[in-house]
Amino acid sequence: MFIGLFILFSCKEKKEKTIVADISCGQCQFELTSQKGCDLAVKIDGKAYFVEGAHIDDFGNAHDKKTGFCEVIKKGNIVGVIENNRFKATSIKLIEK
């Protein structure tokens, strides 16, 4: 019985995933419209999600013409889970070219 309860509870937990994804401004680069302004988003398997747990300006000026997320899409190693159509990040590290 203990094993059955362990399996039941472990299956209900959402597991964090570590993946390489596109990172940018959800509105400017990924055409998300459910929020106003400029907000950090990731694109996973062709679908974009706004990010909770990190801010667009945590990675520099979002509107910088050469490096800002409102202007370019970058790759990053991201860790977190998708919940309620949002990516809840525990870690985001940009991949330098």
pLDDT tier at 14 (50, 70, 90 boundaries)? low
Q: Letter for the amino acid at 2?
A: F
Instruction: Please give the pLDDT value at position 93.
Output: 96
- For residue 97, pLDDT over 90 is answered with no
- For residue 30, pLDDT over 90 is answered with yes
Given a contact cutoff of 8 angstroms between Cβ atoms, the answer to whether 22 and 94 are in contact is no
Given a contact cutoff of 8 angstroms between Cβ atoms, the answer to whether 40 and 23 are in contact is yes
Q: Letter for the amino acid at 41?
A: A
Average of pLDDT values for 32-37?
Answer: 95
- Residues 51-96: pLDDT tens digits? 999 999 999 999 999 999 999 999 999 999 999 999 999 999 999 8
Domains of the chain: 15-94 (2.40.50)
